[in-house]
Amino acid sequence: MDYTLNKREELDTFRCNFKMSERERGLLRSKVEMVDQTALFHLKEERVKKMAGCEEISLNSNLQSRKMVYEPIHEEGVFRFDCSVDARCVAFPSISFQNPIVRERPIKNVTIVPTYVPTFEHEINIAADITTFESEKGLQIVNLMFPPSTSFYGTGEVSGPLERTGKKIETWNTDAYQYGAKNTSLYQSHPWVLAVLPDGKAIGVLADTTRRCEIDLHKSSNIKFTSSWPYPVITFGPFASPTDVLASFSRAVGTIFMPPKWALGYHQCRFSYYSEEEVNEEGFYDPKSFVDSLHQKGFRAIWVLDPGIKNEKGYFAYDSGSESNVWTQTADGRPFVGVAGPCVFPDFTRSEVRSWWAKLVKNFISNGVDGLWNDMNEPSIMVVKVYGMLMAKSTYKGMKLANRHKRPFVLSRAGFVGSQRYAATWTGDNTSDWEHLQMSIPMVLNLGLSGQPFSGPDIGGFIGNATPKLFQTWMGIGSMFPFCRGHSEKGTNHHEPWFFGEECEKVCRLALQRRYRILPLLYTLFYLAHTRGIPVATPTFFADPTDFQLRTQENSFLLGPLLVYARVENNHELCITKPKLPEGIWLSFDFEDSHPDLPKLYLKGGSIIPVAPPHEYVDEANPTDDLTLIVALDERGKAEGLLYEDDGDGYEYSNGGYLLTTYVARQHCSTVTVKVSKAEGSWKRPKRHLHVKLLLGEGAMIVGIQDKTYFGIKDVDINFNPDFDEN
């Protein structure tokens, strides 16, 4: 079964009356169920008229390079390119776009033209059999050339360096157990490249196809896509900055779901906790009671749901699926049976199957499930690109059906462009070594630059045995990633933070306390990712896209204005190396937790970040807890920052039940005044003590609490504006 051609509501498209034999029409209908979508037939009149003229597909065996035709779509600065009007007519609809109609509808009154126009080569021959769309004779090769010294990023979940020039990526979801830096395919597929131009402006390029697609960046400053004909190429920009490109891209493909706040805490997992002594004296005999006991201790439970259903009559899921005819089928119409298990697989490309799965998930949640983890969902025995995404979509829907007052948390190993609408992810089966620790930073960053901001590695490595030094160093970095989880394979030594001795346990505790301190910042960044499409973690060069030295810097990253500078090699001499910082003011600080194996922290001048007291778990925090603002003034003696707050779960925030506060600080002579300059939302501001830490550089700071200064340095006082209304 060809999972690259997806069905029903995924197939919003125009019906083009091109000439085919009855056999070819039948073959096409068997691969794609073309559905009349009323909205798609009510686009502007001139487009419909143009599409009606598509009487036959142009067959061309000449590989001469030609420019693609274009139309403006989505919003100003975004263009769709096709090989021809005919090719546009028969291209399969978008799975990537949140609303597929957007890709099909040109926008009016656009005066700008594309700055960069891709060229294409193709050779198409479907006279013998339409299935040759998958053959080499049906390839569409697209090239897009940029100015010299353009840097490339994104390309989804990829191993290797942050900057992708010289690399080739095969977007074809693969179970890449024990992958390395040279793997060309991993668990997810994002045929997307973010190009940063020499002047710091940026443009994003999406090859919008669910078929196997090669991204070739071997040629300097050139993007080359190769996939089965036909598919459109969408460009976003050039815009003023990489952030602007990603915001536009996210408005097209969708932003990340707003996660429940508890999901930002530390996750601990092992494949597998088999014995009851390892987990709980009660074992797993009564799952609901077991989870209830975890809840009483402040834990949340995330349960694994793989797509493979045991092929056994009498098993309720198998019987229900067989009765509803939901299984993926072979060419002769029988359920496809995987050798591992053996098991059968739901066909998530069908809307009725997704509804069936969602109902099973809804019932499953009653066991006390807090989150669901979709693993092994490439699946490796029938590799496809959108299976995992559609499974995650179904799982997300099932969790919402179970409780519409709770935000779902779904974790998915496999994904595609747009998966962030339904699930977080992790970087798969990594290895316990320093190379994979180093790779974890660019992997997380490139996922964020591809639209998936909620990711992280298995801290300590999934495969093999971590040393105490490796584990504690990795925990120091991993505690600052958007998704923070320790996870290890069965048969390995335990990788819990307390299994490596007192020193490692101490460092891990410091690292996790850092995470829980910066949760107000992280939660604010997730809100911005959800509403504006800005990644939670970004490369350091986002602070200055014109700085070429920063473009390849892989041992640091930004959480908003907070720069995290990490040691990623087993070399103590590197700890004393002065880090390469962006231009401007960057003030170092810590939480009185300085340690060689913890990253150094720097706050950008002109910024304010919110931090909280350290807690054992997220739900232990209370809105009335003390809040601390860390302030770094810029050259003009000013600073500004955001804090987002809501109930931490549910959907009241979508009806105004949130509080988005803008804090500002201004220096006048020897006084720094802090105040609330703006507030949005109806969520009531908690009554709490507000502390301010004014950074002075080299770790020095002044600490104040509302109208009282605890102590002063360099004769600077902290003053709270008389109209300050934090309480």
Catalytic positions: 375, 378, 429
- Show the tokens assigned to 512: 């996790």
**Residue 471 DSSP SS3:** helix
Say how far residue 593 (Cα) sits from the centre of its chain.
30
- The answer to whether 297 and 290 are in contact (CB under 8 A) is no
Residue 641 bridge partners (DSSP): 663
Burial class of 502 by CB neighbour count within 10 A (0 to 12, 13 to 18, 19+)? exposed
Q: Residue 232, preceding bond cis, omega within 30 degrees?
A: no
CA angle 644, 666, 524 (to 5 degrees): 10
Quote the CA–CA distance of 446 and 414 in Å, as a whole number: 16
Quote the CA–CA distance of 356 and 360 in Å, as a whole number: 7
Task: Return the residue matching tokens 């069908």.
Answer: 350
Number of continuous H segments (helices) and E segments (strands) in the chain: 14, 37
What is the number of other CB atoms lying within 10 angstroms of the CB of residue 677?
12
Quote the CA–CA distance of 622 and 498 in Å, as a whole number: 27
Quote the CA–CA distance of 694 and 716 in Å, as a whole number: 9
- Show the tokens assigned to 176: 């890449």
- The answer to whether 164 and 154 are in contact (CB under 8 A) is yes
What letter would DSSP give residue 73?
B
- The answer to whether 438 and 407 are in contact (CB under 8 A) is no
Instruction: Pick the closest to residue 231 from 90, 130, 85, 126 (CA basis).
Output: 90
- Show the tokens assigned to 196: 């940063």
Which H or E run contains 439? helix 434-448
Burial class of 261 by CB neighbour count within 10 A (0 to 12, 13 to 18, 19+)? buried
Say how far residue 193 (Cα) sits from the centre of its chain.
15
CA angle 151, 152, 154 (to 5 degrees): 145
- Show the tokens assigned to 50: 């143009």
Quote the CA–CA distance of 333 and 40 in Å, as a whole number: 32
Quote the CA–CA distance of 29 and 511 in Å, as a whole number: 56
- The answer to whether 197 and 147 are in contact (CB under 8 A) is yes
* Cα dihedral 42, 47, 49, 55 in deg (nearest 10): -110
Instruction: Pick the closest to residue 538 from 595, 482, 459 (CA basis).
Output: 482
Instruction: Give the strands of the sheet with 337-338, arranged side by side.
Output: 309-310, 343-344, 337-338
Quote the CA–CA distance of 443 and 477 in Å, as a whole number: 13
- Show the tokens assigned to 358: 């969602």
CA angle 426, 428, 563 (to 5 degrees): 45
Quote the CA–CA distance of 446 and 628 in Å, as a whole number: 31
